[in-house]
């Protein structure tokens, strides 16, 4: 049982192992490379594209979310976080630390984060220093004789009071930052964000238009049938656009379950909760595209509802708003148009793919029991009234949402028509946008 | 000490019954303790294999092995099984084995209830695990089962999950009552409260925590049950309910729960560090007060899990300050352990290796906890892999290493044989390296922006995820070695003396190894 020297060997073995592993990693990433192979001898399988690229020409020099800004800080953090006395020379492209971000909030958070990290490191160095000193110097195998002390009031009082003082010192800047983060007054633009399973809706309250933002990464990339793109899982069809230099207030709620809207570069994360409206705000000074994700488990596609924000100069923002308002008007007029079955089918296929396919599947086979099949279902073949009812109003107590406010009349009509005629459902029946409009107004 | 010799004076001395009835009907604290430990290890392997599925899927970006739906079932079941099936029963098992031996009692105070509280557990987990095979699959809403994802949008098996949680709760409450009754009533003459071994102290406090919060858990799942089947709207906003209420009630249970999973380990580590430092524990009294303070504070910090739900500013500040405060008594404990080692005469057998790793790595978990307590910074950390790294650092090298340290420390007492020290050290080092490899990179992932509970991730997270998966596989495979070591030790090996560790203190070392079926029929004297 006397194995002192043996365990010392084990210690050195362990550390060497960790060091060498870390160093290999570091070395392979030291050069910025676009195609790279991870060369740890036991993981050769992974060849991928380097994903860390500029978002677009505009934001070339800006900090964007997934990039590796503030390398100096990253280097420091490595040394710290590793908690080991790593040679602090490298770590180029391994993002290990929080991004300082592009807003005053995110910068303040970053400062708090680094401060508390350094405090922890300092405490750790002292405590573990004493411990390792004991481990090395006071070993039985080296003939150490145990002392017999087991109390010292002064020391015990000190190590209660000193940490308390450190915590108070830490709490003061944290409080200041928090107070600022909670000040949502005097905003220039208000955007209401609603979480749905599994997409975001952005509503420009003052400008009377809204749209949905769906992940645009193709399914084939997720299923590894196609090379993954630069912004794999972090790209959407309709990004939310905000003007730079303006205080933008976000009003968050959810339609079904709890979601959480996060853009790390802004230092903004807030839960979107059904029945509640949460507020948060940001002011972005650097134009660019910023990416984030839903951060509250919200069901099967929780990992597939990214947030993409485009911050643009004010003139560009105003032009975009005007364009959106016009498009919204055009969409309203489309309801009046006379639609043919083929037109509805074509539009329906697209609307189905974004709104319905994640649950009921592209081929209408569903995922029973939670998500029933539509192909060959009595609802889609016979009960037309029931079909409209469930799509518009949802089915309470189940995962079937009310799409009445999510889709336009045209899209609702198109989707229902599509479901009644696709995958061999061939009923030949169609619903027009006007009928949907009337149905909704009767209620 | 002649405790054992005295048992022969009893006229109806008897050993264990034969066959299956020994295990089904036993009221013996040692048998029940063994069953708890075996059960918890089986659950540890089951929950661990689910973690392997998770890590295999996350090895590379893209979906390779499982569908997101099943991935969510895996994260949920992994969490539930590890918390309620592995860690908690393991500590109850240790309590059953060691508390009577440590306080000089012949058995637990309520032996029949002891049997019942154990046998409820396999029933509960049979129900829980069977949900994997039900239509619609197992619970898929995370071990925190936030409403309305778990109510309106939950799978049909949610009802079985609720029933299983009820049964586990009953089991835990009965176990806790038994611990309190034993400690308060059955201590040997002369053992005042402030002379109790620390493991006894920490378990006493843990038991009070259990009694306080398990009913809250039962309450919250009952509210879910009502929402799902009886038309109430506690958590349904459409019916005037409040989804945030769920989180408040859940975390009122959930935060003390994390201390339930660590306090007994604090106690065991205190014994082990002192024993292998061959020096009395530094600051016994302050250790007791620190545990008490942690327990009290654990009731007023729950909403630090909810900094992003949109609480009023005053609420944020209160919960931030209260959480920071917990660092003080926790710090006291770490300082005491380190000072106990200081100027000792240290040797590093397996229990000590695990104990030292416990102190270092738990402290790292504590540091990240301190960072998470800073409310503004938590807006960036919340629900990312930084949180996953944090709680695995306090639970794996905290609770689990604490359990391994205890197991190696007391195995000679349980089996009468010394375990294989070389294998045990191998187990330690492989676990240590695997665990750090698995969980340390998660800090980086979280800080770089990877949310938790996602089956697929953006490309910049690839490398660290790969390293993490390799570490996890290594850690997972290593645990089979532990099984081998324990089986080998139970079947034979070098005979263990009554007190195999020269620095160990306490009544449990005064009885022979293996501990006879009945011990302390006549109470020992404690001076």
Between the alpha carbon of residue B486 and those of residues A23, B349, B522, the distances in Å are 36, 16, 31
A189-196, strands of its sheet edge to edge: A209-213, A199-204, A189-196, A247-254, A278-283
Cβ burial, residue A58 (10 Å; 0-12/13-18/19+): middle
Q: Domain of B140?
A: 20-187
Tokens describing residue B34: 């063994």
Instruction: Give residue A425's pLDDT.
Output: 86
In order of A37, A358, B428, B467, the CA distances from A30 in angstroms are 12, 40, 33, 17
* SS3 call for A139: strand
On whether the A336-442 domain is CATH 1.10.760.10, my answer is yes
- What residues contact residue A313 under an 8 Å CB cut-off, 6+ apart? A243, A244, A287
pLDDT of A405: 79
- pLDDT tens digits for A295-331? 999 999 999 999 999 999 999 999 999 999 998 888 8
| B349 close to A (CB below 8 A) | yes
Q: What is the mean pLDDT of residues A29-51?
A: 35
Tell me phi and psi for residue A269, to 5 degrees.
Answer: -145, 130
Q: Do B282 and A48 touch (CB under 8 A)?
A: no
Q: Which of B285, B257, B272 is nearest to B201 (CA)?
A: B285
Task: Read off the tokens for A321.
Answer: 């708003």
Percent of chain A with pLDDT over 70: 79
pLDDT at A356: 87
In the 8-state DSSP scheme, what is residue A368? T
What per-residue confidence (pLDDT) applies to A381?
84
Average pLDDT, integer, range B497-510: 94
Tokens of A10: 């084990």
- Strands in B196-298 per DSSP E: none
Contact in structure between B339 and B282 (CB atoms under 8 Å) = yes
ipTM of this complex? 0.91
Residue B277 has pLDDT above 90, yes or no: yes
Select the residue of B310, B321, B343 nearest A271 (Cβ to Cβ).
B310
CB contact under 8 A, B67 and A300: yes
**The predicted structure's pLDDT at residue A398:** 76
Task: State the average pLDDT for chain A.
Answer: 80
Nearest to B298 by CA among B278, B319, B314: B319
Closest approach of A50 to chain B, Cα-based (Å) = 8
Whether B194 and chain A come into contact, CB under 8 Å, resolves to no
Q: Please work out, in degrees rounded to the nearest 5, the angle formed at the alpha carbon of residue A120 by the alpha carbons of A117 and A123.
A: 150
**Are B374 and A18 within 8 A, CB to CB?**
no
Low-confidence winner among A304-313, A397-406, B100-109, B167-176 (lowest mean pLDDT): A397-406
Q: A1 burial class (0-12, 13-18, 19+ CB within 10 angstroms)?
A: exposed
Question: What CATH code would you report for A189-332?
Answer: 2.60.40.420
CB atoms inside a 10 Å sphere around CB B491: 9
For chain B, give the mean pLDDT: 94
Q: How far apart are CA B416 and CA B491, in angstroms?
A: 10
Of A83, A177, A273, the CB nearest to B244: A273
Under a CB-based contact definition with an 8 Å cutoff, are residues A315 and A282 in contact? no
Q: Looking at the predicted structure, is the pLDDT value of residue A42 above 80?
A: no
Cβ contact (<8 Å) for B345 and A43?
A: no
Yes or no: say if A439 and A373 are a contact pair by the CB < 8 Å rule.
no
Tally of domains within chain B: 1
Structural domain contains residue B296: no
Share of chain A above pLDDT 90, in %: 47
Is residue B175, in this structure, part of any structural domain at all? yes
Of A106, A113, A181, the CB nearest to B371: A113
The answer to whether B289 faces chain A, any CB pair under 8 Å, is no
Report the catalytic residues of B. 78, 107, 143, 171-172, 255, 257, 259, 270, 304-305, 330, 333, 452
State residue A433's pLDDT score.
Answer: 87
Q: Which residues of B touch A396 (CB under 8 A)?
A: 152, 238
Per-residue pLDDT, A2: 39
pTM for the whole thing? 0.84
- By mean pLDDT, which of A207-211, A244-248, B266-270 is the weakest? A207-211
Does A369 sit within 8 Å of B379, measured CB to CB?
no
Distance separating alpha carbons of residues A341 and B51, to the nearest angstrom: 50
Residue B418, domain member (yes or no): no
Residues of B in contact with A55 (CB under 8 A): none
Residue boundaries of the structural domains of chain A: 189-332, 336-442
Q: How many CB pairs under 8 A join A and B?
A: 349
Residue B398 lies in a domain: no
CB-CB contact of A110 with A118 (8 Å): no
Position A12 confidence tier, pLDDT thresholds 50, 70, 90: very low
Least confident of A88-92, B59-63, B178-182: A88-92
Q: Does B353 contact A at CB distance below 8 Å? A: yes
Q: Where are the beta strands (DSSP E) in B278-376?
A: none
The predicted pLDDT at position A50 comes to 32
Residues of chain B with C-beta less than 8 angstroms from the C-beta of A296: 146, 383
φ/ψ of B318, rounded to 5, equals -60, -50
Chain A residue at shortest CA distance from B275: A146
- Between CA A162 and CA A122 the distance in angstroms is 13
Residue B237 maps to a domain: no
b/e sequence B174-190, b meaning 16+ C-beta within 10 Å: bbbbbbbebbeebbbee
pLDDT confidence bin for B60, thresholds 50/70/90 = very high
Look at the block and give the residue holding tokens 């089915």: A395
Q: Are B503 and B274 in contact (CB under 8 A)?
A: yes
Using a pLDDT cut of 90, give the percent of chain B over it.
Answer: 94
Beta bridge partners of A203: A192, A210
Q: Tell me: pLDDT of A4 over 70.
A: no
pLDDT bracket for residue A95 (50, 70, 90): confident
Q: Are B15 and B28 in contact (CB under 8 A)?
A: no
Q: Which DSSP letter does residue A382 get?
A: T
Cα gap A153→B475, rounded to integer Å: 41
């Amino acid at each position: 049982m006397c194995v002192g020297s043996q365990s010392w060997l084990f210690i050195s073995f362990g550390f060497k192992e960790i060091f060498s592993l870390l160093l290999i990693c570091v070395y392979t990433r030291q050069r910025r490379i676009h195609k790279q192979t991870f060369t740890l001898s036991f993981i050769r399988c992974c060849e991928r594209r380097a994903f860390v690229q500029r978002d677009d020409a505009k934001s070339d020099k800006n900090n964007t979310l997934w990039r590796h800004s503030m390398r100096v800080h990253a280097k420091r953090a490595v040394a710290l976080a590793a908690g080991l006395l790593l040679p602090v020379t490298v770590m180029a492209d391994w993002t290990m630390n929080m991004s300082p971000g592009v807003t005053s909030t995110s910068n303040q958070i970053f400062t708090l984060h680094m401060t508390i990290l350094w405090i922890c490191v300092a405490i750790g160095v002292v405590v573990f220093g004493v411990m390792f000193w004991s481990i090395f110097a006071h070993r039985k195998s080296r003939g150490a004789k145990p002392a017999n002390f087991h109390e010292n009031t002064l020391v015990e009082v000190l190590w209660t009071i000193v940490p308390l003082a450190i915590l108070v010192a830490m709490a003061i800047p944290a409080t200041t930052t928090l107070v600022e983060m909670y000040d949502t007054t005097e905003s220039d633009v208000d955007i209401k964000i609603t979480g749905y399973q599994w997409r975001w809706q952005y509503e420009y309250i003052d400008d009377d238009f809204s749209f949905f933002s769906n992940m645009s990464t193709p399914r084939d990339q997720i299923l590894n049938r196609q090379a993954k793109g630069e912004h794999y899982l972090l790209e959407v069809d309709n990004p939310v656009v905000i003007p730079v230099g303006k205080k933008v207030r976000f009003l968050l709620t959810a339609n079904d379950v709890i979601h959480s809207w996060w853009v790390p570069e802004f230092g903004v994360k807030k839960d979107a909760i059904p029945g509640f409206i949460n507020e948060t705000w940001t002011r972005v000074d650097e134009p660019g595209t910023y990416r984030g994700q839903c951060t509250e488990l919200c069901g099967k596609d929780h990992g597939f509802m990214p947030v993409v924000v485009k911050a643009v100069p004010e003139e560009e923002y105003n032009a975009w708003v005007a364009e959106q308002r016009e498009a919204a008007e055009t969409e309203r007029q489309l309801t009046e148009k006379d639609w043919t079955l083929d037109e509805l089918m074509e539009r329906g296929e697209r609307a189905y793919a974004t709104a319905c396919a994640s649950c009921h599947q592209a081929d209408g086979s569903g995922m029973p029991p939670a998500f029933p099949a539509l192909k060959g279902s009595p609802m889609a073949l016979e009960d037309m009234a029931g079909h409209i009812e469930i799509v518009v109003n949802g089915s309470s107590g189940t995962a079937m949402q009310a799409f009445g406010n999510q889709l336009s009349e045209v899209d609702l009509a198109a989707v229902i028509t599509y479901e009644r005629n696709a995958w061999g459902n061939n009923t030949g029946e169609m619903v027009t946008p006007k009928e949907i409009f009337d149905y909704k107004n009767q209620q | 000490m002649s405790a054992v010799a005295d048992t022969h004076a009893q006229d109806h001395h008897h050993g264990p019954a034969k066959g299956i009835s020994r295990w089904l009907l036993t009221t013996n604290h040692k048998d029940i303790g063994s069953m708890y430990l075996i059960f918890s290890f089986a659950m540890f392997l089951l929950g661990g294999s689910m973690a392997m599925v998770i890590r295999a899927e996350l090895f590379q970006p893209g979906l390779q092995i499982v569908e997101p739906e099943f991935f969510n079932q895996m994260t949920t079941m992994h969490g539930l099984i590890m918390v309620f099936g592995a860690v908690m029963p393991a500590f109850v098992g240790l309590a059953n084995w060691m508390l009577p031996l440590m306080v000089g009692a012949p058995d637990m105070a309520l032996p029949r209830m002891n049997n019942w509280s154990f046998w409820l557990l396999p029933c509960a987990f049979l129900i829980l695990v069977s949900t994997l095979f039900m239509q619609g699959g197992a619970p898929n809403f995370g071990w925190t089962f936030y409403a309305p994802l778990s109510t309106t949008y939950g799978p049909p098996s949610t009802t079985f999950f609720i029933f299983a949680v009820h049964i586990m709760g009953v089991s835990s409450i009965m176990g806790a009552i038994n611990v309190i009754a034993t400690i308060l009533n059955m201590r040997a003459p002369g053992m005042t409260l402030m002379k109790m071994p620390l493991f006894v102290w920490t378990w006493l406090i843990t038991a009070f925590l259990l009694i306080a919060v398990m009913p809250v858990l039962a309450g919250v799942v009952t509210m879910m049950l009502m929402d799902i089947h009886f038309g109430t709207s506690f958590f349904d906003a459409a019916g005037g309910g409040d989804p945030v209420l769920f989180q408040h009630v859940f975390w009122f249970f959930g935060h003390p729960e994390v201390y339930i999973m660590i306090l007994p380990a604090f106690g065991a580590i205190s014994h082990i560090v002192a024993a292998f430092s061959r020096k009395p524990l530094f600051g016994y009294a302050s250790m007791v007060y620190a545990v008490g303070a942690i327990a009290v504070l654990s009731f007023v910090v729950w909403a630090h899990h909810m900094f992003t739900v949109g609480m009023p500013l005053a609420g944020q500040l209160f919960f931030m300050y209260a959480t920071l405060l917990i660092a003080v008594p926790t710090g006291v404990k770490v300082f005491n352990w380190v000072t106990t080692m200081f100027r000792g005469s240290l040797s590093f057998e397996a229990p000590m290796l695990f104990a030292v790793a416990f102190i270092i790595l738990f402290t790292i978990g504590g540091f990240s906890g301190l960072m998470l307590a800073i409310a503004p910074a938590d807006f960036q950390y919340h629900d990312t892999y930084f949180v996953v790294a944090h709680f695995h650092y306090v639970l794996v090298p905290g609770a689990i290493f604490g359990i391994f340290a205890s197991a190696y420390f007391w195995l000679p007492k349980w089996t009468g044989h010394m375990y294989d020290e070389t294998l045990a050290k191998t187990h330690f080092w492989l676990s240590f390296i695997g665990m750090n490899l698995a969980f340390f990179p998660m800090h980086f992932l979280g800080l770089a922006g990877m949310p938790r509970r996602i089956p697929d991730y953006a490309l910049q997270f690839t490398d660290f995820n790969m390293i993490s998966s390799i570490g996890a596989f290594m850690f997972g495979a290593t645990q089979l070695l532990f099984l081998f070591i324990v089986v080998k030790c139970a079947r034979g090996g070098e005979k263990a003396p009554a007190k195999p560790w020269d620095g160990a203190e306490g009544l449990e070392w005064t009885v022979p190894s293996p501990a006879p079926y009945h011990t302390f029929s006549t109470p020992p004297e404690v001076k």
